[in-house]
Amino acid sequence: DTNMSASNVVTCPAHPNAIITEDYRAGDRICTECGLVVGDRVVDVGTEWRTFSNSDKKQTDRTRVGQEESEFSPTTLGTSIGQTKPGQESDLQRAQRHLGATNTRVERNLQEATREINRIASLLNLPAKITDRARRYFKQADEKRLLKSKGKEAVVAACVCIACRDEGVTRTFKEICAVTEIPVKIIARCYKKIRAELGLTTTASGSAAEFMPRWCSGLSLPRSIQMAAVTVSENAKLCGVVEGKVMTSYCAAAIYLVCVLGGQDKGLQDISAVTGASQAAIKESLKEMHPVRAYLLPKNFELKAKLDTVPSFGTPRIANSVELAQKAGLQPIADLAS
């Protein structure tokens, strides 16, 4: 620095004209001629690179800063001051309570919602990207004052549903209902309201191929049965015999049909418990599938029972279902010999 006075310049006593180098690791100033340390306590003003991961032994993921601060983190520190004596509040506790009381309404609601979202995510095995997106939707909904009309708990459940749909994670309204005890109708109503108010585009509710692996795994069914159930569901939708039916109900009906004909001992009660579809809804879908059951099965399906083994559960609503299946290009499989 040209403005630095001569008294502040560090030089080597033996070599006044020698170049002085700075060792930032050791914090020393060293004479390049004789190696004499002519000064210490040098502060490194450069960037510091280090790793914050305990598992990264080779330090390949180095960074200049710590973990990124979340946009949902509370503005106050999360330290809790314990009581020195039961029933007595110290000055620090009163200060912390006052500091917490100064949080805005949105912050307080977001903190409560975060705890509930994390609880739901833990029960449904949802990844972190779902919880982050759900919190973001909740914050936006709270800023638009949607909690007052819909209720905080229902909005939280709906935000989790929306986050699951947007991230492609298959979770039904009934699964969310099972862990929140909020009626499906209320969750569905909040779901539509939040999507409309936030301007979110409507996404598909998922296909049979996305739900089947989890449901069949819960029923301990082999992969051949799972793939056959997917085919039955898709063919039933293709020919229109399940038009107007909820996807959960006709997928559950497809599982039941394939289990009966594939020699798997799974009843309506077992399938209903895993899929969340009521037994009455499954029977209604089976009623429509029954006349075209031979058309819905995959061509390479190995029958373990005759087609008549599948109960009809009543008269179908669609009378020309066989004609619809033929128009859709479906071919029936051969029944077992008598």
| pLDDT, tens digit (0-9, with 9 covering 90-100), for 112-164 | 889 999 999 888 888 888 899 999 999 888 888 877 766 788 889 999 988 88
Instruction: Provide the pLDDT confidence category of residue 76 given band limits of 50, 70 and 90.
Output: very low
pLDDT at 218: 87
Do the beta carbons of residue 164 and residue 133 sit within 8 Å?
no
Helices 152-167 and 128-143: crossing angle, nearest 10°? Answer: 130
**Per-residue tokens: 107:** 């912050």
Separation of alpha carbons 102 and 115, rounded Å? 20
Q: Is the pLDDT of residue 289 over 70?
A: yes
Q: Euclidean distance between the first and final Cα of the chain, in Å?
A: 103
- Give the integer Cα–Cα distance in Å for 276 and 182: 14
Per-residue pLDDT of 178-233, as tens digits, reads: 888 888 888 888 888 888 888 887 665 667 777 888 888 889 999 899 999 999 99
Q: How many CB atoms lie within 10 A of CB 261?
A: 26
For residue 275, which of 250, 257, 293, 300 has the smallest C-alpha distance? 250
How far is it, in rounded angstroms, from Cα 63 to Cα 4?
A: 34
Burial 97-112 (b: 16+ CB within 10 A, else e): eeeeeeeeeebebbee
pLDDT, residue 44, reads 54
* CA 252/CA 263 separation, integer angstroms: 16
| Sequential DSSP letters for 166-207 | HHT----HHHHHHHH---HHHHHHHHHHHHHHHTPPP-----
Residue 326's Cβ-count burial label (10 Å; 0-12, 13-18, 19+) is: middle
pLDDT surpassing 70 at residue 70: no
Higher per-residue confidence, 44 vs 133: 133
Two tokens at 273? 């418990």
How far is Cα 276 from Cα 254, in angstroms, rounded to an integer?
Answer: 14
**Percent over 90 (pLDDT), the chain:** 26
Residue entry with tokens 């709906």:
158
A 10 A CB-CB count for 83 gives 10
Q: In this model, does residue 257 exceed pLDDT 90?
A: yes
Instruction: Tell me: pLDDT of 329 over 80.
Output: yes
d(CA 152, CA 180): 12
